[in-house]
């Protein structure tokens, strides 16, 4: 049991809320997709520090389908640059369905890279050679975004190829306008394989997180694409990723997103989180019903809307250490050994969901072997929003249930009144006016009843 599992609890709550939704139907026009489990439903979130949280069927594998489009677009942009890619495919919302004939009247260019017509062109822009075919480049790119090697579901690929006449027709139509830089048959075959790459909701959250992290995979640390390319892709996702529902999605949810007819759905909070869901029951636009509801609620609950809560500058967690390395640590061997068993975490600035997740994770990592008492120093915290406060209370309660004693330096009463803290954390959480005093009380608790009273001493004036 860890403090950061309070984030997982929030995802489990959302999963429980929407798992019973039965609206929608599977994409039966691709026979293999019609065999998916209609009850499957998973949610995953990845932070910019590479921390992953999930609930439900987040490890169930399914094919990317149209969720692959932003990442192949990123590959094309990385290879050719925005201006050259823009010669072949536009960046304007089509206001039409994913498989519509969305071509500019004058140039014949597809409207954007998120609709099928544009995605086929984008795929065709990926260079290939006898030694390194285009699809090998695509699969390697998708795998780098996910942070692990992905593979192809050959059954789904065969099903796509057998029923994909509309996409072939789109490719031939685009070719007739002169805006498809490859043989239509080859372009569509590579596109079918791209859509048939298999991943999980956790993988998709990591892929979305890589875009949100400026092109750097939060787990592996690898730079997959440049920050400029990541920003360009997110911009097109924001305006075009949800097809003819993109405007309403951006208005209500406020995150760049991309859906797929297998049931996958990703969203990215720049510099904050990558989010993903999987549920194969789709609405009329081909988007997961449960996924839309869950990500919409998650954005609302955690304050992720781009236009309402920009990413916070600076570092939230300023210190994660043990008390024996602090300037105030005693010099005596026994006293220093006691202080070595006390973890210390300090935070600063305004705490929202993004910031408090880092604090909770730091609490878990503090102390030797992630055990023993811990001091949480909130003196430099300027404010805590309601979502962050609830998660902080839940995290401190989890530490207590795990047998880890906590003390808080909170002269500004950021945690709230003592009776509220008691109700939400299940304990009379000791609060102090100085870090030194909190550390000393924790060290006394480590020493045992000979060195410390059985109950926490009353804090000195200035604390709670």
**Catalytic center residues:** 66, 69, 191, 243, 261
Phi/psi of residue 275, each to 5°? -125, 150
Around Cβ 133, how many Cβ atoms within 10 Å? 16
CA distance readout (Å), 17 to 98, 340, 353, 380: 29, 43, 20, 36
Cβ atoms 378, 412 nearer than 8 A: yes
Sign (positive or negative) of CA dihedral 262, 263, 269, 272 = negative
Q: Are strands 52-56 and 42-47 parallel, antiparallel or unpaired?
A: antiparallel
CA distance 365 to 91: 44
Helix (H, G, I), strand (E, B), or coil: what is residue 374?
strand
Residue 238 tokens, joined: 């924001």
CA distance 429 to 305: 33
Around Cβ 359, how many Cβ atoms within 10 Å? 25
Helix (H, G, I), strand (E, B), or coil: what is residue 351?
strand
């Amino acid at each position: 049991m860890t403090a950061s599992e309070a984030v997982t609890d929030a995802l489990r709550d959302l999963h429980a809320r929407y798992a019973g939704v039965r609206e929608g139907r599977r994409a039966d026009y691709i026979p293999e997709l019609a065999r998916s489990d209609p009850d499957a439903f998973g949610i995953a979130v990845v932070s910019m520090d590479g921390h992953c949280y999930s609930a439900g069927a987040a490890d169930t594998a399914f094919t990317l389908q149209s969720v692959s489009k932003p990442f192949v677009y990123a590959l094309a942009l990385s290879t050719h640059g925005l201006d050259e890619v823009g010669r072949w495919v536009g960046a304007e919302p089509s206001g039409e369905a994913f498989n519509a004939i969305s071509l500019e009247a004058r140039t014949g260019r597809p409207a954007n890279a998120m609709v099928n017509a544009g995605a086929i062109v984008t795929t065709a822009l990926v260079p290939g050679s006898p030694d390194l075919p285009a699809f090998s480049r695509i699969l390697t790119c998708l795998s780098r975004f996910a942070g692990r090697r992905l593979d192809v579901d050959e059954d789904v690929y065969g099903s796509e190829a057998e029923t994909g006449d509309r996409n072939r027709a789109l490719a031939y139509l685009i070719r007739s306008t002169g805006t498809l830089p490859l043989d239509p048959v080859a372009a569509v075959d590579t596109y079918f394989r791209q859509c048939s790459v298999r991943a999980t909701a956790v993988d998709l959250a990591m892929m979305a997180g890589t875009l949100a992290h400026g092109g750097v995979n939060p787990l592996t640390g690898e730079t997959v694409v440049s920050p400029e390319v990541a920003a360009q892709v997110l911009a097109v996702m924001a305006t075009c990723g949800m097809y003819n529902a993109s405007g309403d999605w951006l208005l209500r949810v406020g995150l760049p997103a991309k859906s797929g007819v297998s049931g996958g759905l990703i969203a990215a909070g720049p510099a904050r989180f990558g989010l993903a869901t999987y549920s194969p029951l789709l609405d009329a636009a081909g988007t997961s019903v449960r996924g839309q509801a869950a990500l919409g609620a998650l954005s609302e609950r955690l304050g992720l809307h781009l236009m309402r809560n920009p990413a916070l500058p600076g570092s939230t967690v300023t210190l994660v250490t043990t008390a024996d390395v602090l300037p105030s640590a005693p010099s005596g061997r026994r006293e220093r050994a006691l202080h070595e068993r006390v973890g210390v975490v300090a935070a600063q600035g305004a705490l929202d969901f993004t910031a408090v997740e880092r604090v909770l994770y730091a609490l878990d990592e503090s102390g030797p072997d992630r055990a023993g008492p811990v001091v949480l120093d909130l003196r430099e915290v300027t404010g805590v929003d309601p979502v962050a406060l609830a998660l902080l209370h839940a995290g401190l309660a989890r530490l207590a249930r795990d047998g880890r004693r906590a003390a808080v330096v909170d002269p500004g009463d950021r945690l709230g009144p003592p009776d509220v803290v008691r109700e939400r954390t299940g304990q009379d959480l000791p609060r102090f006016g100085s870090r030194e005093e909190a550390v000393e009380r924790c060290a006394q608790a480590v020493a045992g009843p000979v060195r410390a009273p059985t109950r926490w001493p009353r804090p000195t004036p200035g604390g709670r």
